[in-house]
Structure 1
Amino acid sequence: MKKSVIITAGGIGKRMGSDLPKQYLEVCGLPILMHTINRFYDYDKTFEIIISLPSSFIGFWKELCQKHGFEIPHSIVEGGKERYHSIQNALKNATGEIVLVHDAVRPLVNDFTIENVINKAIEDGAAVPVLPIKSTLRKGTKNESKHIDRANYWEVQTPQAFRAEILREAYLIEFSSKVTDDASLVEASGKKVQLTEGNEENIKITTPFDLKLVEFFMKK
């Protein structure tokens, strides 16, 4: 069964405190986005890899590929105003029967997580990797709050995986800022989303601390 992965790389990384968007920052000699592409290529070299980039960074990305001799096959689509529009554009180029959507700044997703979510999508149509919440949770404001049971909550990761027709149907729904990921959109279309086990190293790089943590794991 042919598989496509859409890697979204449109973030500007305000919380990183860097002029360069975080997906282009180098860790262990390569930009983060290249590490992420490597993960899917290493898992399955037949993966159709599609990168969604802001138009203003497409030339810069091509220069980085030339600089690093990066030759893993991938196609580039121009990102839209919001993540929703970027995925919508990329879906037009995806030819896989199973389509994964992954954050560019999660370079430590492992084979276990990728395989689990693909198999569950094949079986049930839509799946996302999650981890149980470890911290105690409270709901409310600083002045008034109450404890809530963390057993009912999960931390969601990517890649999220879908049968292509299910994801395409979901993207016929109009954009809403309330929908924060592809699984939410698929649920809004009336489909169920199954949960699979993620991996703890699959960190989304958002802050300088996250970057240091990812670098530590890569060096190990």
Structure 2
Amino acid sequence: MDKYAIIVAAGSGSRMNAKLPKQFMPLAKLPMLFHTIHSFTKITHHILLVLQEKDFQYWHKICNDYKVKIPVTLVPGGNTRHESVKNAVQNLPDDCMVAIHDGARPLVTPTLIAQLFLLAEQKGNAVPVVPLKDSIRKLSKEGNTSENRNQYVAVQTPQCFKTTELKQAFQSAKHNDYTDEASLYDDLNKAVFLNEGSHTNIKVTNPEDMVIAEVLFMALNKAQQKG
């Protein structure tokens, strides 16, 4: 089956406290999005990049400035992540596979992407997760209580799906505030199939995440060179 990728990068990145949206901030001397997309080009050249329409011109500018030719189709983002992904999904053909990925996860590896596509082709979808490392507590109006962390996992992207089923799910969506596609499937009582993710596949949300991403990028790059 043909493989497509949707890179979601239409957020404002307000928690970074920076002038630039986080997806354009430099990581190892290149805009973060370049690293994210590069990993997907190892698997597919059918890549849809979701940006706010006002950022289209800036995207073309940085590609020109860095003399980087990245084969992507630009898609305008919506008011929520769900709406942004829906805009891209509507551009996909039926009977293929798609990986939906956060643009702010620049350390995703082609190996993980390939594993998820394989499981999704077999099961219909595949969602990467990692075990929790910290103890967790549940907050409520009455206070807070400890929870068994072994009963929970942290959910990552890319999340992979067969497009025919995914399109049907978006048509049946009950609201526009789903934080990911696995949540949409949950709400529609569809089975979600989990695959081991990677603790290095971090999402850059806060300034300290960028520092961690820089360190991880250098370490992973060094390991690949040795390897």
Distance apart, 1:133 and its partner CA: 0.8
Which deviations, in whole Å up to 9, do the C-alpha atoms of 1:92-119 show, x marking residues without a partner?
A: 2223701110000101012332122111
- 8 Å CA contact retained: 2:101, 2:157: yes
- Superimposed CA distance per residue, residues 133-170 of structure 1 (whole angstroms, 9 cap, x where no aligned partner): 11111112597322211111010000000011111011
TM-superposed deviation, 1:26: 0.9
Asked whether 1:74 is paired with 2:79, we answer: no
Query: How far off its partner does 1:29 sit?
Result: 1.6
Instruction: Name the SS for the 1:171 alignment partner.
Output: helix
Distance 2:7 2:105 in 1: 10
Checking the alignment, whether the CA contact within 8 Å between 2:130 and 2:153 is kept in structure 1 is yes
Distance in 2, matches of 1:190 and 1:62, equals 41
Correspondence 1:197 to 2:196: yes
CA contact (8 A) 1:84 1:175 kept: no
Q: Secondary structure at the match of 2:171?
A: coil
- The equivalent residue for 1:40 is 40
Matching residue of 1:106: 105
| Alignment partner of 1:90 is 2:81 | no
Q: CA deviation at 1:177?
A: 5.2
For the aligned residue pairs, the C-alpha RMSD in angstroms reads 1.7
1:71 CA drift (Å)? 0.7
> Aligned ranges for residues 10-159 of structure 1 at < 5 Å?
10-42=10-42, 44=43, 46-95=44-93, 97-140=96-139, 144-159=143-158
Per the alignment, do residues 172 and 72 of structure 1 end up closer, same or farther by CA in structure 2, a change over 3 Å counting? same
Which amino acid is the alignment partner of residue 45 of structure 2?
F
Does structure 1 retain, via aligned residues, the 8 Å contact 2:4–2:46? yes
Q: Secondary structure at the match of 1:219?
A: helix
Structure 1 residues 127-136 or 95-104, which shifts more? 95-104
| TM-superposed deviation, 1:4 | 0.5
Runs of 4 or more consecutive aligned structure 1 residues displaced over 3 Å after TM superposition: none
Gaps of 5+ in 1: none
Q: Percent identity?
A: 37
1:2 is matched with 2
Q: CA deviation at 1:172?
A: 0.5
Does the aligned pair in 2 maintain the 1:110–1:199 contact within 8 Å? no
- Checking the alignment, whether the CA contact within 8 Å between 2:45 and 2:71 is kept in structure 1 is no
Query: 1:181 corresponds to which residue?
Result: 180
Which ranges in structure 2 are unaligned for 5 or more consecutive residues?
220-227
Q: Aligned partners of 2:184 and 2:5: how far apart in 1?
A: 17
The letter of the residue matching 1:2 is D
Q: Deviations over 1:57-87 (max 9, x none)?
A: 0011111111111112111011112211211
| Residues 132/49 of structure 1: CA separation in 2 closer, same or farther (3 Å cut) | same
Residues 111-120 or 200-209, more deviating: 111-120
**Size of the alignment, in residue pairs?**
218
TM-score (norm 2): 0.90
TM-aligned CA deviation for residue 212 of structure 1:
0.6
Supply the AA of the counterpart residue of 1:38: H
Residue number in structure 2 paired with 1:206: 205
Mapped contact 2:7–2:100 kept (Cα < 8 A): yes
